[in-house]
């Protein structure tokens, strides 16, 4: 019997915990309210968005959604799970919450995979003439990894990109009979991710991607957010990715959500059915 190949799980670096929180509005109930009630509700919610959640600052954002999958999306980045949950719970105590219906949420954590960083650290350790497994090898490896992680830290603890449009979708890597991501060697996965990164990089000026890992946190394996001032740049990027093997062979997608960035002051206009 041949030995099973050794499949290494990739190392990752995690940053902010992320919640995509999507609601529909109970319009008939909302519109049946006297205008004084509606004003009070909007006032309380706008203040919460600005002062508590910090919408319009760096780590929370409000979006108006396209289509019937939802109407308002709140996006929160927080330093830890408990802070994220505190934000959720204080949101549920707002009077506005009585007029909303939860439709979808996604919990994840910003992630940088260390495929490249580990390759660099292995190369540098080998260049020093150290043998894998030796103390000298481990020392160089650990030192280079620490440096690489320092650079990546700013990316995983980033603020919410402020471009006007967001496209969010959860995805997993395929585990089919013919194509199984999890049965590939780390070198094969690294090479596919290299091709993926190279293709993606062509769009780096127009589209900001935030890849969040959600294995063990939510239903899919990753949550992808693409932020851009140009909706068609998002469409073109996702189209090109479909032809790249990391996606064409190995990606499975969940529902797509598309939305437009709003400021806390826009909430009143949005709930009046007006144009923000």
Q: What is the phi-psi region of residue 230: left when phi exceeds 0, alpha when psi lies from -120 to 50, beta otherwise?
A: beta
Among 211, 259, 267, 271, binds ligand 76R (CB under 6 A): 211
Q: Which stretch binds ligand 76R (CB under 6 A): 25-33, 62-70, 97-105, 236-244?
A: 236-244
3-state secondary structure of 54: coil
Stretch that binds ligand 76R, among 56-64, 119-127, 142-150, 207-215 (CB under 6 A): 207-215
The one among 30, 106, 168, 203 contacting ligand 76R by CB under 6 A: 203
- Our CB check for ligand 76R shows the closer of 42 and 251 to be 251
* Greatest distance between any 2 Cα atoms in the chain: 77
Shortest Å distance, C-beta 221 to ligand 76R = 7
Whether 62 and 260 have beta carbons less than 8 Å apart is answered as: no
Phi/psi region, residue 28 (left: phi>0; alpha: psi -120 to 50; beta: rest), is: alpha
Rg of the chain, C-alpha, whole Å? 22
DSSP state of 275: -
Q: Find the binding residues for ligand 76R in span 162-191 (CB under 6 A).
A: 171
Residue 30 or residue 250: which is nearer to ligand 76R going by CB? 250
Does 222 contact ligand 76R by CB under 6 A?
A: yes
Q: How far is CA 248 from the centre of its chain?
A: 21
HSE value, Cβ hemisphere, 13 Å, CA-based, for 198: 10
In the beta sheet, which residues pair with residue 171? Answer: 222, 253
Q: How many residues bind ligand 76R (CB under 6 A)?
A: 23
What the block records as the tokens of 79 is 């330093």
Binding mask 30-49 for ligand 76R (x = CB under 6 A): --------------------
Task: Say whether 28 sits in a helix, a strand or coil.
Answer: helix
Q: How far apart are CA 276 and CA 233, in angstroms?
A: 22
Token pair recorded at residue 166: 């967001």
Q: Which of 63, 77, 99, 169 is catalytic?
A: 169
Question: Contact with ligand 76R (CB under 6 A): which of 22, 49, 65, 237?
Answer: 237
Q: Is residue 110 at the binding interface for ligand 76R, with CB under 6 A as the rule?
A: no
Where does this chain touch ligand 76R (CB under 6 A) — which range of 34-42, 56-64, 131-139, 200-208? Answer: 200-208
Stretch that binds ligand 76R, among 17-25, 36-44, 81-89, 195-203 (CB under 6 A): 195-203
Q: Does the annotation mark 169 as catalytic?
A: yes
Among 113, 214, 225, 262, interactor with ligand 76R by CB under 6 A: 113
Q: How far apart are CA 103 and CA 159, in angstroms?
A: 25
Burial of 121 (0-12, 13-18, 19+ CB in 10 A): buried
- Residue ranges binding ligand 76R (CB under 6 A): 10, 112-113, 171, 193, 196-197, 200-201, 203-204, 207, 209, 211, 222, 224, 226, 237-238, 241-242, 247, 251
Catalytic residues: 169
């Amino acid at each position: 019997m041949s030995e099973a190949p050794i499949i290494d799980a990739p190392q990752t670096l995690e940053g902010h915990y992320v919640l995509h929180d999507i609601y529909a509005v109970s319009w008939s109930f909302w519109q049946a309210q006297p205008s004084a009630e509606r004003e009070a509700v909007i006032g309380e919610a706008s203040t919460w968005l600005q002062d508590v959640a910090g919408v319009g600052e760096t780590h929370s954002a409000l979006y108006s959604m396209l289509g019937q999958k939802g109407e308002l999306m709140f996006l929160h980045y927080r330093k830890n799970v408990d802070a994220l949950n505190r934000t959720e719970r204080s949101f549920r105590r707002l009077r506005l919450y009585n007029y909303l219906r939860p439709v979808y949420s996604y919990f994840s954590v910003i992630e940088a995979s260390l495929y490249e960083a580990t390759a660099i650290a292995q190369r540098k350790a080998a260049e020093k003439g150290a043998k894998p497994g030796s103390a000298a090898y481990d020392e160089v490896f650990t030192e280079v990894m620490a440096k690489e992680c320092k650079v990546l830290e700013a990316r995983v603890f980033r603020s919410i990109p402020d471009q006007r449009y967001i496209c969010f979708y959860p995805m997993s890597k395929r585990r089919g009979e013919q194509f199984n991501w999890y049965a590939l060697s780390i070198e094969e996965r690294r090479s596919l991710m290299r091709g993926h990164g190279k293709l993606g990089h062509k769009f780096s000026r127009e589209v900001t991607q935030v890849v969040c890992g959600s294995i063990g946190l939510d239903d899919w394996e990753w949550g992808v957010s693409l932020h851009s001032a140009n909706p068609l740049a998002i469409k073109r990027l996702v189209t090109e990715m479909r032809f790249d093997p990391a996606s064409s062979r190995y990606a499975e997608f969940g529902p797509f959500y598309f939305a437009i960035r709003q400021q806390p002051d826009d909430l009143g206009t949005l709930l009046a059915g007006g144009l923000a």
